[in-house]
Structure 1
Amino acid sequence: MKSIIKPAFLALAMMAVLPSCEVERLPETSVSDETYWRTESDLKTAANYLYMYLPGFGTFTPPGYNNTFNVTYGTEDVWSDDAFGLATNNISDGSRLAPATATDYNTNYLLIRAANNVIEKAPRASAATSATIIDRYIAEARFFRAWGYYALVQRYGDVPLILKTLDDTSAELQAPATPRAQIYDQIYQDLDYAAQKLPTATALGTADYGRISNTAALAFKARVALFEGTRSKYHNYGEPTKHLKLAVDAAKTVIDSKQHDLFSGSYFDLFQLAGEGRQNRENIIVKQYGVSSTDRVATQNFFRSSLETGNMNPTKSLTDSYLMKDGLPTAKSPLYKAPTKSTDVFVNRDTRMSDTFFKMGDAWIGTKLVFDIAPLVFNRTGFTFRKYSNLDDWVTTQSLIDRVLLRYAEVLLTYAEATYELNGTISDADLELTINRLRARGGVAKLTNAFATANGLTVRDEIRRERRVELAQEGFRYWDLIRWKTAEIELPKPVLGNYFFRTEYGTTTAVNLTSDNYILVQDASFRKFDPNRDYLWPLPINEIALNPTLKQNPGW
């Protein structure tokens, strides 16, 4: 059985906040700081609050706010070419405008403010608590501060760097944005501190499963450094070599720690209750929901509210990325045959495809127990994502399946990609250590340098393909396109769906088709991406009005 992290009401009261400007100020509450920060229990309760900000599924409303101030998680892939929802998405099709407010901007500063509060006040417990314990909870807070700043700089670039709690008179409220390079240096410092002071995953064990470990800090550092290393390389700024080396070193340290390994069960079960808890050493960071209906943090309804109802559906572009079992793409493999029925799409294919997409015969929903074909009125691409689907959860609408936020497979992918980007090559030994372990899970032939050359493939593209397939439906694709500077190529393309199997789909739903009979979901004429504008998100207009030293990002 897994343990769960429960934020106490005391912490919620202590940390209550009200929306303000570009950095959140924490007013004093009925809880006295002078009497609170005394024991390890106090520190743990305060740190527990930070875990609420890990992205789960559905809508998150920070404590103290009404439901007009929230952020929705779980369908981020509709920003990319991997997925399409019930309607067009203004991020992926380039039609959005600069917003007046942005809840993700404010929410991350709420997290940073709460983390700074713990970092500043935890030492007050020194009379009754050891320095080791105090350092541990400061380390958790510094991890979460790094988490919040990475989310901000990833979207907006330069943002205000606030490393202490503020009040209404603080000069920092009118400070200009801090250059992204300086923010990354601070993120690395926080994560290095966390890696030094936090327990190992083994030491956390079952009792503290779900808390941040030292390898979680290192794995997240590898993610951050890969993003900035490749982004600076392909966008031609900064110090890509510095970041890529940090990514390689952090990922390799996690690998060498032997704290984690790939899940021994099926890829599908990795995203089910069977894949939860410390017995699954692949999971490094998760958003926890609970153990049972009576022992839970919360519940989620992601399958019924998002996957089944069409808020995020796979595209043909994503399906085309899945290799045939011989390790070749469909355009090159002699195993590929043009499909004549929907199940043909999965024949001789990477098995992770059938674990990620619904196919005929899979358990489906309470009103239709067995899946046959995607209903186009909801699943407009003719495909339906399958990760986290569970028939019992559909019936109860109260799923306790944790959301996996960082797993060992990503660490392997990061090590492979950062190694290649840093050196311009990768050895077969490193491919065996990383990419080929993941291909084995999907029943796909190994990748070697000789295999790539013999079949007219590039190793870089195959590493990127493997990342897309392994991490599909997990929210990575949009940011990969951003850092590789390929969003301007991929996002303006038409959005296509499955081959239109007329006898299976029927004709009750109007559908547009291409000349070769694929479902046309959105024509290219309705999609655009401005490379001079869209690689950064627009700062919220209200934040600029509150702090005139902030400058809007170019083109917005």
Structure 2
Amino acid sequence: MKKLYIIILALTMSLVSCDQWLDIEPEFVQDAENFFNTEEDFQRAVIGVYDLMQTNYLQVWIGEIASDNSIAGGESVNDTQGLHEIDGMRHGGVNNELRDVMRFNYAGIARANFIFENENKIDFPSKERLMAEISFIRAYFYFTLVNYFGDVPLIVDRRASINEVFQINRTPKAQVYEQIERDLDRAIRVLNWTNPEVGRITKGAAMALKGKVLLYQQKFAEAAQVLDELITTNQAGYALVADMRSMWLVANQNSSEDVFTIQHSGLQGGDYGCLVCLQGNPAPGFHGIRNYVGPFYGDGNSYNLPTQNLYDFFGNDPRREVTILDLDAFIAAQPNPSEISYMIGGGGHTGYYNNKYIKRDFERGLPDDDLTSPLNYRAIRYADVLLMAAEAFAQIGNDARARTELNKVRQRAGVPDITSSGNQLLEDIYRERRLELSGEGYRFWDLVRTGKAAEAISGFQVGKHELFPIPQVEIDLAGGRWSQNPGY
């Protein structure tokens, strides 16, 4: 059993998970030498790769809190201290949340590489599809790592031995991007537009992620081509759902708007000591209202609180109420406001809560229900696809097509069409991304890649904060051969 846990680098050896990587009975009977002998073995191993995507709560937290959209919140400034450091742009090489980003994503890569290492051991009908799925997931993990840390060690299709740890260097991010694109191309080539098993990776998800990867590299013409094919071919039937107000309810997920969604279940409990162990989504509980007693919502931990800046940015746009819960206004509108109560956490309070990923009273998972929300994470939804396409087309001078895709999103929101062109059109697209996608974990990356972070984020230093620091413990585990990112 332990041989199945061999990990890509020493930095991932510290990962402790109460989930089994592979559900094998009895223990100690199977190891790396006699596993991967049946289709079922591969199926079970692939599920283990999917499992590590459920650490997406870190994406929602850091992508919002590092930006101008949210503050860290929580019980106190020492409650999940790493998020408060990121909130104030004070983070350094010792930060638990950033270390989790690195080790969780590398653990997922290790699981994928272990399967690739055994890819040719046997043949069976579903093998190409399964390998294409984990190609996508490995690309997603590496894309996350490149966004956070820049140059990162790149190992594919094999496990790294312990002896290699002190010899492995950080790989230039351009080469990591090349591997990401190769993995996504394999997924696009092999996968179907739909899969009867909800949550499996599809061709559309792979095309959407490739479009995003190309956009982040400023390969605008290539991004436009991929996203155009996705939008015009669209054999999966992607479409914007009509009612934005109810779109974020559990009952309405896995809809036509969901292109790449990470699934969660409210049926498995867990504890605060091992968030990676959960099958539920901990973000809604952490975003919940502290000690709340009242209708509709559930009590929670008051993290990731939207800012006044974000609230004011919306103006009269109807998406404000979809995105942000103005708690005092909500309470005042109830028939019994004097009977509703809540507490303010010592980690900061704005009066606002993330209304997309929040605990609702009728969507509770198993105890502790702070940790087991069944609310999925929409990693890429169709509105994002349309806005990425609009941006890519605007960047290559096709303003008419850019306006077409942009205005599809605005028409669904019930706001007037955009008629601008040139640089103003591009600014309108950036503005639309904040209106449409706030609360979903994209904002920091949008500000960084468009060069707008310094003007929007207090304390942001150009040349430093575009990347997060490599966790110091991982530098130490690598024998000190990795240089730290500039400024840290």
- Fold-level similarity (TM above 0.5): yes
Question: Could you tell me whether the CA contact under 8 Å between 1:100 and 1:542 is conserved in 2?
Answer: no
Q: Distance in 2 between matches of 1:73 and 1:429?
A: 30
Instruction: Decide whether aligned partners of structure 1 residues 46 and 408 sit closer, same or farther in structure 2, where only a CA change above 3 A counts.
Output: same
1:322 aligns with 2:291: no
Corresponding residue to 1:191 among 153, 175, 184: 184
After TM superposition, the structure 1 stretch with the greater mean CA deviation from structure 2, 39-48 or 376-385, is: 376-385
Question: Could you tell me whether the CA contact under 8 Å between 2:7 and 2:159 is conserved in 1?
Answer: no
Question: Could you tell me whether the CA contact under 8 Å between 2:287 and 2:305 is conserved in 1?
Answer: no
Q: Give the residue type in structure 2 aligned to 1:264.
A: V
Q: Distance in 1 between matches of 2:156 and 2:148?
A: 20
Instruction: Decide whether aligned partners of structure 1 residues 471 and 15 sit closer, same or farther in structure 2, where only a CA change above 3 A counts.
Output: farther
Instruction: Decide whether aligned partners of structure 1 residues 152 and 292 sit closer, same or farther in structure 2, where only a CA change above 3 A counts.
Output: closer
C-alpha deviation, 1:35, in angstroms: 3.4
Q: Distance in 2 between matches of 1:209 and 1:167?
A: 33
Corresponding residue to 1:427 among 399, 417, 421: 399
Q: Distance in 2 between matches of 1:406 and 1:383?
A: 24
Corresponding residue to 2:440 among 435, 453, 474: 474
C-alpha deviation, 1:399, in angstroms: 3.0
C-alpha deviation, 1:162, in angstroms: 0.7
C-alpha deviation, 1:189, in angstroms: 0.6
Instruction: Decide whether aligned partners of structure 1 residues 547 and 419 sit closer, same or farther in structure 2, where only a CA change above 3 A counts.
Output: farther
Corresponding residue to 1:399 among 373, 384, 391: 373
C-alpha deviation, 1:33, in angstroms: 3.5
Which residue is equivalent to 1:31?
30
1:153 aligns with 2:127: no
Q: Give the residue type in structure 2 aligned to 1:272.
A: L
Measured against aligned partners, the alpha-carbon deviations of 1:235-276 in whole angstroms (never above 9, x if no partner) come to xxxxxxxx2222212211211222243343411322112322
C-alpha deviation, 1:146, in angstroms: 0.9
Question: Could you tell me whether the CA contact under 8 Å between 1:79 and 1:89 is conserved in 2?
Answer: no
Question: Could you tell me whether the CA contact under 8 Å between 1:307 and 1:313 is conserved in 2?
Answer: no
1:114 aligns with 2:111: yes
Q: Distance in 2 between matches of 1:33 and 1:394?
A: 39
Structure 1 gaps of 5+ residues are: 1-9, 59-71, 230-242, 324-348, 493-527
Q: Give the residue type in structure 2 aligned to 1:489.
A: E
Which residue is equivalent to 1:289?
264
Q: Distance in 2 between matches of 1:254 and 1:371?
A: 50
Instruction: Decide whether aligned partners of structure 1 residues 351 and 48 sit closer, same or farther in structure 2, where only a CA change above 3 A counts.
Output: same
- Name the larger-Rg structure: 1
Q: Give the residue type in structure 2 aligned to 1:185.
A: E
Q: How does 1:30-49 map to 2 (within 5 A)?
A: 30-49=29-48
Structure-1-length-normalised TM-score: 0.71
Question: Could you tell me whether the CA contact under 8 Å between 2:113 and 2:158 is conserved in 1?
Answer: yes
User: Aligned pairs, how many?
Assistant: 438
Measured against aligned partners, the alpha-carbon deviations of 1:283-310 in whole angstroms (never above 9, x if no partner) come to 022221238789xx83345434323232
Question: Could you tell me whether the CA contact under 8 Å between 2:212 and 2:388 is conserved in 1?
Answer: yes
Which residue is equivalent to 1:436?
407
1:490 aligns with 2:456: yes
Q: Give the residue type in structure 2 aligned to 1:534.
A: H
C-alpha deviation, 1:174, in angstroms: 0.9
Question: Could you tell me whether the CA contact under 8 Å between 1:200 and 1:215 is conserved in 2?
Answer: yes
Between Structure 1 and Structure 2, which shows a larger proportion of helix residues? 2
Q: Distance in 2 between matches of 1:222 and 1:186?
A: 15
C-alpha deviation, 1:376, in angstroms: 5.3
Corresponding residue to 2:216 among 218, 223, 227: 227
Q: Give the residue type in structure 1 aligned to 2:114.
A: N
Structure 2 gaps of 5+ residues are: 16-20, 22-26, 78-82, 270-277, 291-301
Q: Give the residue type in structure 2 aligned to 1:256.
A: T
Query: % of aligned pairs identical?
Result: 25
Q: Give the residue type in structure 2 aligned to 1:480.
A: D
Q: Distance in 2 between matches of 1:214 and 1:371?
A: 50
Question: Could you tell me whether the CA contact under 8 Å between 1:388 and 1:401 is conserved in 2?
Answer: yes
Which residue is equivalent to 2:18?
none
Q: Give the residue type in structure 2 aligned to 1:458.
A: Q
Which residue is equivalent to 1:246?
222
Structure-2-length-normalised TM-score: 0.80
